[in-house]
Copies of this chain bind each other. A is one copy, B any other.
């Protein structure tokens, strides 16, 4: 029998921890006389907090008596059994028959959470929102990691381990500690001299030594000082040489179930660096970067979710991320204020279902999707296309677009969101919405093909209104990736956009993700292998221990660290750079679901010029191991439903049996 879980009003756990994490960030400021300080950094979007009151209830018929033990994280809570209120700590015996158990509670400083030991009436998702709630009938929120009476959902379950600097160096009149790689956690400095002092931190050595410009620092005092958790590789303590430093490394204990090895050591190292980048950014939800912003951004998370399916395949963190991004009603702004991030949020939900098969969650989140659709449609133009509204931010990528009227790439994401909604509607059995959203998607795709295709350029242009006929890679990549145009046009795009050096190159690993996904999709694996080497490989050659937010190979030295007008403002540990894990798993090992939750899946390993490759892809119900030397493939799978595709041959994969096939 499954264990009871702590339950709460859906979203409360996520909103609570999101609220805390979004308010934990600091930055540095320079004051009169050059004094440096670390100060609180205010979040840039609306931050929601959880409900302080909650009612969750369940009605069921039991054939055997059962004992209920009632726990809550607050004294202002009752377990109401068949109308009678029992206080926290009560044990109640239910006789066989039909009963209603209603858990009601209030917690002023966080959110109420309940735990009932029992058989049928043990707490889990089957409790539903009751009382006077605006959205009665929704399932209770829960986490797979809070299943014991002694658990406290107000405390996020990180793990900790002690770490020490790998080197200590006297420099510039102070002392520089190097932890050898990017790390995160509470720093303890000992043997200080008691003075108030600004201690500089850096993802790079240059940043830490640049006391006046570094992004993060500590306001230390006393002879021993422990910081709040913070990300860095280097610590510089100015004007003092005797100090020592140690770290309580804080991390989420996600197992790297996925694996990848090949004969190109750079790619092997890259995979490890990507995995470590993921580890640092996998927390309450998926973060963008661990130094900055340390926040949950939807576009970033869209990709990180996908990487996760080939690395740890943890469902809980994906669900948490989706809930954090959704926030609370009323919806008044796009997610992170970015319209494309709202569309990607919807797409991420469908992806999650496709990789996990978790229809419970689709059912749980579906009302939130529908409300989000209402918000989106309230901001479309008369043709049902999206054009930027005041207060909205159209991001797409750090690149320049022709923003006159609706932008092509943005509306491809809108179409994709409708497609995802249609898919989700099918899962929950909402036939009307399934049809409606599918038709909306098809209509937008048609319109895009008519309005934005430039025959002469053989490409989609950003704007059909300005007459500038500006071509960027972005819409053209989406057209391939989402199959939103015919084969002929796709080929034209490859030639006239992707392999056209006059079209501005992608500089963010974020959009590299989409570009490579699209190129692999059409079978151009060499494009990816080259990019792994030239783009990601170059970061490693420059000493990266984690993947950077942005990378322009033409820059030099500390130019690489500059962004947003700040000398070191770039994040050097940005999760959106971890896509090689996803790309290598999906295309090199060739493992991907063809039915939701790997009910059916294919294994189609590719020769990408990496020599012999081998690796593991984790699925909900077991791992799929693959090796391939360009000729012979070996598959060992812990799940049913697979097909090995080698050249034009197909081989059924039998769970638990080694399958070897040769081209």
**What residues make up the interface of A, taking CB atoms closer than 8 Å to B?**
19-20, 23, 27, 29, 31, 37, 39-40, 42-47, 49, 51-53, 55, 75-78, 84-87, 104-106, 108-110, 131-134, 329-330, 332-333, 337
Contact = CB atoms under 8 A, between A and B. Distances in A.
Given A20-B108, A45-B132, 4 more contacts: A39-B86, A46-B53, A46-B132, A49-B52
Given A49-B52, A55-B42, A330-B329, A108 B37 contact: no
A76 B40 contact: yes
A87 B37 contact: yes
A19 B107 CA distance: 10
Contacts of A77: 40
A78 B39 contact: yes
Contact of A42 (B23, B31, B49, B104): B104
B109 A78 contact: no
A78 B40 contact: yes
The 7 tightest CB contacts between A and B, nearest first, are: A109-B109, A330-B330, A23-B106, A134-B332, A42-B104, A49-B52, A47-B53
29 contacts: A19-B52, A19-B106, A20-B108, A23-B53, A23-B106, A27-B85, A29-B84, A29-B85, A37-B87, A39-B78, A39-B87, A40-B75, A40-B76, A40-B85, A40-B87, A42-B53, A42-B55, A42-B104, A43-B106, A44-B132, A46-B132, A46-B134, A47-B52, A47-B106, A49-B108, A108-B110, A109-B109, A134-B332, A330-B330
A19 B108 contact: yes
Contact of A132 (B23, B104, B337): B337
A220 to B, nearest CB: 15
Nearest to A44: B132
Residue in A45, A106, A110, A330 with the greatest tally of chain B CB atoms within 10 Å: A106
Nearest to A30: B84
A296 to B, nearest CB: 15
A132 B42 CA distance: 11
Contacts of A109: 108-110
Contacts of A44: 132
Nearest to A75: B40
A84 B51 CA distance: 33
A214 B223 CA distance: 60
B330 A134 contact: yes
Contacts of A332: 134
Copy total for this chain: 2
A20 B109 CA distance: 10
Contacts of A53: 19, 23, 42-43, 46-47
A136 to B, nearest CB: 10
B40 A132 contact: no
Contact of A46 (B133, B330, B333, B337): B133
Given A29-B85, A46-B134, A47-B52, A76 B23 contact: yes
A131 B104 CA distance: 35
Nearest to A106: B23
A422 B47 CA distance: 35
A37 B88 CA distance: 12
Contacts of A329: 330
Nearest to A133: B46
A55 to B, nearest CB: 7
A293 to B, nearest CB: 15
A31 to B, nearest CB: 8
A557 to B, nearest CB: 29
A109 B46 CA distance: 17
Contacts of A20: 108
A238 to B, nearest CB: 20
A616 to B, nearest CB: 41
Contacts of A104: 42
A78 B38 CA distance: 12
Nearest to A136: B391
A24 to B, nearest CB: 8
Contacts of A132: 44-46, 333, 337
A387 to B, nearest CB: 21
A198 to B, nearest CB: 13
Nearest to A104: B42
A27 B84 CA distance: 12
A44 B110 CA distance: 20
Contacts of A108: 19-20, 23, 49, 109-110
A45 B104 CA distance: 12
A91 to B, nearest CB: 11
A20 B74 CA distance: 13
A49 B49 contact: yes
A29 B92 CA distance: 15
A367 to B, nearest CB: 13
Contacts of A337: 132
Contacts of A106: 19, 23, 40, 42-43, 47
A329 B52 CA distance: 15
Contacts of A43: 53, 106
A142 B464 CA distance: 51
A233 B29 CA distance: 59
Nearest to A107: B23
Contacts of A84: 29
Contact of A39 (B23, B31, B46, B85): B85
A393 B131 CA distance: 15
